[in-house]
Structure 1
Amino acid sequence: MTVLVNNAGPAGEQPSATAASTVREVLETNVVGVLMVTNALLPLLRRSAAARIVNVSSGVGSLAHHTDPAHYMSGLPASATYPVSKTALNQLTVQYAKELRGDGILVNAAAPGGCATDLTKDLPFAITRTAADGAAVALATLAPGGPTGGFFDDDGIVRW
């Protein structure tokens, strides 16, 4: 089995205070970087009998979460970078899944849930889950014919 896990995530600031160069930098890291690494490793992945690509995303990439007044993410501060880049990463995941389905390569996005990291330290609520707890990626060991093109939260449920 050959597994590629793409994980990156610089944060940002409110849209009205964000320079275009900052948005470009975060998109370069969270989206273009994933594209470059994935494309570079595709020859190796295609030679594997059971290749998996897991893009580490976030629930903040969900448009539904941000527009649902009942969801806590709708109350998060506005940002022109991290949520935007994770939404784009989710779409890139779907596009790779469509392209690579015929090669037997399963491509999914994993949202490990909120973890206590530098990214979450200034939120208006406490997150106590450790980064190590969030690192478990069951999508890396899916059986052949398993799901592809999905977005799985920390409970293993597909959510877009």
Structure 2
Amino acid sequence: MSPSLAPPTETGTDDLRRTYETNVFGVVAVTNSFLPLLRRSPHPRIVNASSGTGSLTWSTNPNPQFASGRGGAAAYRSSKAALNALTVLYAQTLAEEGFKVNALAPGLRATDLNPRAASAGGDPAEAAAGAVRLALLPDDGPTGAFFSWDGTPVPW
């Protein structure tokens, strides 16, 4: 089984490290590097590209959208859940400075992420529009929230 689709019982620590390096540690490194510039902005915004597969609610719901994987893609899914937690923590830490920090679930898009995505047919521009919407939130907009590409709230 492909490491990207493996359940936790078949996921090696190297697979976890590689995935977390990109989806968690990379996000922290880039975010922290950009904080000095963002602090100079009158409207600082951070939008983390997450995934609905990182929603613990959707993963544990009796009729979940993502439970069909039966615990598969453990490295990817757990890294997105960790990113969601970091989104909340950044939002709390930076709120007094006027930051809006949110996560976006772009949905499955026709990209090179994996064979399933490549044949998905979802237009990447739709997801990009969702990210732009969050990046341009008004000052009274939400922070520490999780949204689908179309603006619908996603449960943590």
TM-score > 0.5 by shorter chain: yes
Determine the C-alpha separation between the residues in 2 that align with 1:60 and 1:80: 10
Aligned-residue identity in percent? 48
Residue 61, structure 1, aligned to residue 54, structure 2: yes
Query: Which whole-Å CA distance do the structure 1 matches of 2:53 and 2:8 have between them?
Result: 15
Spell out structure 1 runs of 4+ moving beyond 6 A: none
Match of residue 139, structure 2, among 103, 120, 144: 144
Matches within 5 A, 1:15-94: 15-77=8-70, 78-94=72-88
TM-score normalised to the size of structure 1?
Answer: 0.85
Query: 1:99 and 2:93 equivalent?
Result: yes
**Cα distance in 1, alignment partners of residues 35 and 116 from structure 2:** 38
1:32-65 CA-to-partner distances (Å, cap 9, x unmatched) read 1111111111011001101100001010001111
Q: Aligned partners of 1:48 and 1:12: how far apart in 2?
A: 40
Structure 1, unaligned runs of 5 or more: 1-9
Match for residue 153 of structure 1 among 128, 148, 155: 148
Structure number with the higher helix fraction is 2
Root-mean-square deviation (CA, aligned residues, Å) is: 1.9
Q: CA deviation at 1:131?
A: 2.0
**Cα deviation 1:75-112 (Å, max 9, x = unaligned):** 02512211000000000000000010011011000111
- Aligned equivalents of 1:54, 1:11: Cα separation in 2: 24
Equivalenced residues, count = 149
Distance of 1:95 and 1:43 partners within structure 2: 18
| Match among 104, 107, 113 for residue 107 of structure 2 | 113
| Cα pair 2:126 2:149 within 8 Å, conserved | no
TM-score normalised to structure 2 length: 0.87
Distance in 2, matches of 1:11 and 1:67, equals: 20
Q: Following the alignment from structure 1 to structure 2, what is the Cα–Cα distance between the partners of residues 114 and 144?
A: 30
Is contact 1:61-1:86 (8 Å) kept?
Answer: yes
Shift of 1:12: 4.6
Instruction: Give unpaired runs (5+ residues) of structure 2.
Output: none
